[in-house]
Amino acid sequence: MLPIHRFDTKDRHHYLLEKHYTFKLKPKLLYVGFLNKQSEFKEENHSHDFLEIVFVSGGMGEVTIDGKHNHIKKGDILVYNAGCEHFEISSSEDPLELKFLAFDKLQITDLPKNWLIPPAYGNIFPSGELESTFQNYFDMLINEFDRKDRFYVEVGGNMARTLLMYLFRLINRRESTDKLLSTNKILEVAENYINQHFRENISLEDVAASCYANKYYLSHLFSESKGMSVGKYILSKKFDEAKRLLTTTNLSISQIASQVGFNESSYFCRIFKKETGKTPLAYKKEHK
């Protein structure tokens, strides 16, 4: 007998599930709640060891996240990874109305526990055309937990996970990528980290941790994109800075070596000559 339910006809259509899922998520819903409009509302600065998602369903105000101030308005979604310090302040003219939920036991590959996205993606996402979708799901969630009908915990948990998938969809649209952790984003974050920390004694593991990528995968990306390893790229940044200091300052060779992250000036001189064909002192005399 033919499996007729697997075949499309003019009048019957089937939408089959994909063979794999983009994310393997088994989060536990901790709570759902809402804040009605309050013109004097102001939170204390705090953080959680779980993930919290806040939907601005009305009004406007400000949010301070890890010390940085941001304006928020109706339709915005705020994502607070575990450990993220934050607090919201309501506008007196148009007070905030918030709806929120929290997850525990969320684990995504290459991210710490209860982190939804890397910090480079930011924390505030305008919902745009999905605003009504988020509004409906939050309303249904709050209604389930308010009424407490039979199986409301299971129903609410499934709704919350669906809402999470819509949030991933929103983030993917904003980032214009097919994957949450895109190649370009990983390279961008890794380069920014190296540019800020190359004067220190950083390793491949440190750089990989900064962009939440596997170190072997990051090595492959760098070799393919830059034509050199991560270690070689860090060394090139050190030498670029050393050359600048040699030609624009009166610092000694040992001082320059220390400033670009070498503990021993003799080792710095040896590696510098191997890289440039000249000792630091010869380079200084030639170019200053």
Residue 13 has what pLDDT?
52
- Please give the average per-residue pLDDT across 216-231, as a whole number: 84
Answer positive or negative: Cα dihedral of 248, 251, 257, 260: negative
Helix, strand, coil percent content, the chain, rounded in steps of 5? 45, 20, 35
% the chain with pLDDT above 90 = 51
In contact, 218 and 208? CB cutoff 8 Å: yes
- What are 20-72's pLDDT values in tens digits? 344 556 789 999 999 988 777 888 899 999 999 999 999 999 999 988 899 99
Is 94 strand, coil or helix? coil
How much is the mean pLDDT over the chain?
84
Task: Flag the least confident range among 164-178, 183-197, 209-223.
Answer: 164-178
Residue 17 has what pLDDT?
41
Domains of the chain in sequence order = 28-175 (2.60.120.280), 183-287 (1.10.10.60)
Task: Flag the least confident range among 102-111, 141-150, 232-241.
Answer: 102-111
Q: Which two structure tokens, joined as six digits, stand for 286?
A: 């030639």
Q: Tell me the sheet residues that pair with 98.
A: 35, 56
Residue 40 has what pLDDT?
76
- What are 88-103's pLDDT values in tens digits? 999 888 999 999 999 9
Residue 11 has what pLDDT?
62
Residue 84 has what pLDDT?
92
Amino acid, single-letter form, for residue 121:
Y
- What are 252-271's pLDDT values in tens digits? 999 999 999 998 889 999 99
Whether the per-residue pLDDT at 183 is higher than 80: the answer is: no
Could you give the CA distance from residue 273 to residue 257 in angstroms, rounded to a whole number? 13
∠ CA 161-166-168, rounded to 5°: 95
Residue 184 has what pLDDT?
67
Could you give the CA distance from residue 249 to residue 77 in angstroms, rounded to a whole number? 49
Contacts of residue 251, Cβ cutoff 8 Å, sequence gap at least 6 = 245, 259
Q: Which two structure tokens, joined as six digits, stand for 29?
A: 């819903």
Q: What are phi and psi of 73, to 5 degrees?
A: -145, 175
